[in-house]
Amino acid sequence: YASLTSNMPIVDIHTHVYPPKYMELLRSRSTVPYVRTFPDAPNSARLIILPDEDDPSTPSISRGRPIGSEYYDIKEKIAFMDQHKIDKSVISLANPWLDFLPADEASEAAQQINNDINNQCSQYPGRLYFFGTLPLSAAPSAITAEIERLTTLPYARGVIMGTSGLGQGLDDKNLDPIYATLEKHHQLIFLHPHYGLPSSVYGPRASEYGHVLPLALGFPLETTIAVTRMLLSGVWDRFTKLNVLLAHSGGTLPFLAGRIESCILHDGYLKTHDKTQNRRHVWDVLKSNVFLDAVVYSEVGLGAALEASGSDRLLFGTDHPFFPPLEQDTKVWHSVQANYDAIAKTFETEDEKAKNVLGGNAVRILRLDS
């Protein structure tokens, strides 16, 4: 890729950090999400964030995942970028963000964490930018105030959000002032899953399969459902310029968009309640409001994303520091190489498009050259 992109940087737009303030918060807690060591392994801290990870029947040695400095030391991020030929990264707080905080703590925590991450970026000017975190449990006026404040932080380029919104999902009318403020300031939402699906869908033997079912299927379906609910509630009919960057190539949205359209068209309830008049179609939203990351690990999924939104709306990502190689001493991460390979195969004869997916689109869309 070095020669291919000699005049175009490689940009990673899906890459996470837990800055010092957030680590402090995680270490101070004893319910999910938290970081702690267990008596049987006092020297290795574990990060426990997912709803089902805290099951006491899971031995503490395999609960959650090991957490080391790659989660919070910004030097490690830069070393990872150098190792994988990534010129610029747009870092974001990892899940579950501030979703769990009481209302009266959320605003201050968001300000501290956003300042923390902005400071991390300022240590490597031109290499790091970030998606900010919102105090979603606070009052809407506090949320919009933080969006406004983020526009004054030099390295902020949008916000990362989960699917819970103010507690009732992203199809909640009470989010309108937040969507309006984001739209007004041209700040995109990086929409990222965390909650997955109810664990009952994974069946009684789920614990025998590690994290595979919730991560491979729960995450993408959660994203797909959240975006479809936004569409059905008319978010993009009211906010025609609101942009979202969907994690994991849109979950399953590109693959299921036709089925979603067909189900809308054939729904008697929507028709009798006049909800299908003048609505924007999912295909239109996919090509006008949606950006998709290229974190899907295969040219099959990437092909669907490409068909749905176009090569000028696809953006390379890694999901670092998640999905590290399990073998010791592997320098190049399989997860990263899989995403590079999928882009190389998909755009085998189209260098210009490959460069745009690898970085050009991110520079243009997120204004990384200013």
Residue closer to ligand URA (CB basis): 88 or 248: 248
Size of the site for ligand URA (CB under 6 A): 8
- Residues of this chain, 83-122, that bind ligand URA according to CB under 6 A: 94-95
Going by their DSSP bridges, the two strands 41-48 and 65-66 should be labelled as antiparallel
DSSP string, 43-63: EEEEEE-STTTT-TTS-GGGS
Shortest Cβ distance from residue 266 to ligand URA (Å)?
Answer: 35
For ligand URA, the closer of residues 47 and 357 by Cβ is 47
Which tokens sit at 195?
A: 């909650």
Q: How far is the CB of 192 from Zn ion (least distance, A)?
A: 6
* Total interface residues for Zn ion by CB under 5 A: 1
Whose Cβ is closer to Zn ion: residue 99's or residue 319's? 319
Q: What is the total residue count of the chain? A: 370
The CB-nearest residue to ligand URA is 322
Helices (H), the chain: 20-27, 74-83, 103-122, 140-150, 176-184, 212, 219-232, 235-238, 253-265, 268-272, 282-288, 299-309, 334-346, 351-355, 361-366
Q: What are phi and psi of 73, to 5 degrees?
A: -90, 115
Shortest distance in whole angstroms from residue 247 CB to Zn ion: 6
DSSP 350: -
CB of 211 to ligand URA, least distance (A): 8
Percent helix, strand and coil across the chain, each to the nearest 5? 45, 15, 40
Nearer to ligand URA, 71 or 129 (CB): 71
Among 8, 13, 35, 49, binds ligand URA (CB under 6 A): 49
The partner in contact with residue 5, picked from ligand URA, Zn ion, none with C-beta cut-offs of 5 to 8 angstroms by kind, is none
Return the sign of the alpha-carbon dihedral for residues 326, 327, 329, 330.
negative
Q: What are phi and psi of 101, to 5 degrees?
A: -80, 145
**Residue 95 contact, options ligand URA, Zn ion, none, Cβ 5-8 Å cut-off depending on partner type:** ligand URA
Q: Rounded to whole angstroms, how far apart are CA atoms 288 and 269? A: 27
**x/- contact string, 282-311, with ligand URA (CB under 6 A)?**
------------------------------
Q: Which residue lies nearer to ligand URA by CB, 50 or 354?
A: 50
- Which residue has 């745009």 as its token pair? 356
- Residue nearest Zn ion, Cβ-based: 319
Distance CA 335, CA 325 (A): 8
Residues 313-342 that bind ligand URA (CB under 6 A): 319, 322
**Closest CB to ligand URA among residues 41, 216:** 216
- By CB under 6 A, the residues from 158 to 197 that bind ligand URA are none
Min dist. Cβ of residue 200 to ligand URA (A): 20
By the rule CB under 5 A, 293 interacts with Zn ion: no
Instruction: Compute the least distance from the CB of residue 147 to ligand URA, in Å.
Output: 22
d(CA 252, CA 283): 14
Compare residues 299 and 319 and give the one whose CB is closer to Zn ion. Answer: 319
Least distance (Å) from Zn ion to the CB of residue 42?
29
Which residues in the 253-282 window bind ligand URA by CB under 6 A? none
* Per-position b or e across 257-285, b if 16+ CB within 10 A of its CB: beebeeebeeeeebeeeeeeeebeebeeb
Site for Zn ion in 304-343 (CB under 5 A): 319
Q: How far apart are CA 113 and CA 110, in angstroms?
A: 5
The distance of closest approach from Cβ of residue 193 to ligand URA in the complex, given in angstroms and rounded to an integer, is 8
Q: What tokens does 175 get?
A: 């989010």
**Shortest CB 56 distance to ligand URA, Å:** 20
Q: Would you say 17 or 285 has its CB closer to ligand URA? A: 17
Block residue for tokens 């609101």: 242
Which residues lie near Zn ion (CB under 5 A)? Answer: 319
Which residues lie near ligand URA (CB under 6 A)? Answer: 16, 49-50, 94-95, 215, 319, 322
